Structure 1
Amino acid sequence: MAITHLKGEEVKLTGNEINVSDVAPIVKIVGQDLSEIQVGGEEGCAQVLVVVPSLDTPVCAAEARKFNEEAVKLDNVEVVVASMDLPFAMGRFCTTEGIENLKVGSDFRNKELATAYGVLIESGALRGVAARAVFVINASGVVVYKEICNEITEEPNYDAAFEAAKEATNTSCCGTCQ
């Protein structure tokens, strides 16, 4: 069980701890149109899985905008932002913010992603949502980068995540990523 912080207060995380070199669990989240989005596993292209507590916070919104901006610069990489927000709220956010270069999905139904990746907050004021984290998964489905933000209210290390995403494309890729 990992520990992270919310404005200095310790919060415990629960679920299966996933580390670099582990096979990324395959899970399904809910898209803006209520379709299922599969993440993890061997997708034939690199994936950047960005987990945020809620797009309805300034830090999460800024993070989604930054990944949206950078996604177009990444060849053969699929970027997915996942939160516990309802799909309708995510849709409004994406429309308002012009989010078009990444997929946005919700883990609200079963908290499958947060549990499978070990980022479900178990204690504190945000109990039941996901911690802020970034996982980069190569085309073979192996986690090559992991960051769980020590302080939930702070943005991740973008440079490290983007560099890991670029390196993850050095494996074979079928070219089907968006």
Structure 2
Amino acid sequence: MANVTFHQDPVTLLGKEVKEGDQAPNFTVLSNDLNEVTLHDYKGKIKLISVVPSIDTGVCAEQTKRFNDAAKKLDNVQVITISMDLPFAQKRWKTVNEVKDLEILSDHRDGNFGENYGVLIKELRLLARSIFVVDSDDKVSYVEYVEEVSNHPDYDKALDAAKQAK
């Protein structure tokens, strides 16, 4: 399992760690209008899944804005941000920050994404910062579990992986 800390304190990640080459686990999360969304809703597309603990915090907000800006330049790539925030809070944040080129989805209801991707922090019921690139055949082609939750991911590596995925 990935070794992850939150403000330098080790945390326990629930679920199974996802590795490059794995078949991407399905998940069920909620859209901002409370509709269920699954991995299969993006069938045939490359998915760049940006996972953040809480959209309304500094690093999480910057991460989401950076991927939103990059999304415009990616062909056949659906950029998705997933957090444990309530869908209503995500919708408000998205509107206030004029984020229009990616989807923000909520794992708040049951932590299904978090457990299926091994990023649900047991002690906090938040998601550990991570990035997953899933190709159009739903194979995982890139994974980054950020070791310290308050740190940024490697944006360039994630974007390069999304551009190279098929």
Aligned partner of 1:146 in structure 2 is 143
8 Å contact kept, 1:84–1:130:
yes
Q: Distance in 1 between matches of 2:78 and 2:38?
A: 11
Q: Distance in 1 between matches of 2:4 and 2:27?
A: 23
Aligned partner of 2:99 in structure 1 is 99
1:24-43 pair list within 5 angstroms: 24-39=24-39, 43=43
Structure 1: which amino acid aligns with 2:98? G
Percent of residue pairs bearing the same amino acid type: 39
Please say if 1:18 is aligned against 2:18: yes
Structure 1, 32-41 or 48-57: larger mean CA deviation: 32-41
8 Å contact kept, 2:24–2:139:
yes
Q: Distance in 1 between matches of 2:2 and 2:130?
A: 12
Q: Distance in 1 between matches of 2:135 and 2:42?
A: 8
8 Å contact kept, 1:25–1:117:
yes
Shift of 1:10: 1.1
1:18-73 CA-to-partner distances (Å, cap 9, x unmatched) read 10000001112101111122226971010011111010111100100001000011
Secondary structure, in 3 states, of the residue corresponding to 1:82?
Answer: strand
Task: Using structure 1 for the length normalisation, give the TM-score.
Answer: 0.90
Aligned partner of 2:61 in structure 1 is 61
Q: Distance in 2 between matches of 1:41 and 1:158?
A: 25
8 Å contact kept, 1:13–1:120:
yes
Q: Distance in 1 between matches of 2:116 and 2:76?
A: 25
Secondary structure, in 3 states, of the residue corresponding to 1:3?
Answer: coil
Shift of 1:3: 2.3
Task: Using structure 2 for the length normalisation, give the TM-score.
Answer: 0.96
8 Å contact kept, 2:15–2:114:
yes
Please say if 1:157 is aligned against 2:154: yes
Shift of 1:7: 1.8
Q: Any stretches of 5+ residues in structure 2 without a counterpart?
A: none
Aligned partner of 1:176 in structure 2 is none
Secondary structure, in 3 states, of the residue corresponding to 1:115?
Answer: helix
Q: Distance in 2 between matches of 1:40 and 1:66?
A: 25
Q: How many residues align?
A: 166
Secondary structure, in 3 states, of the residue corresponding to 1:59?
Answer: helix
Shift of 1:88: 0.4
Q: Any stretches of 5+ residues in structure 1 without a counterpart?
A: 172-178
Please say if 1:75 is aligned against 2:72: no
Secondary structure, in 3 states, of the residue corresponding to 2:59?
Answer: helix
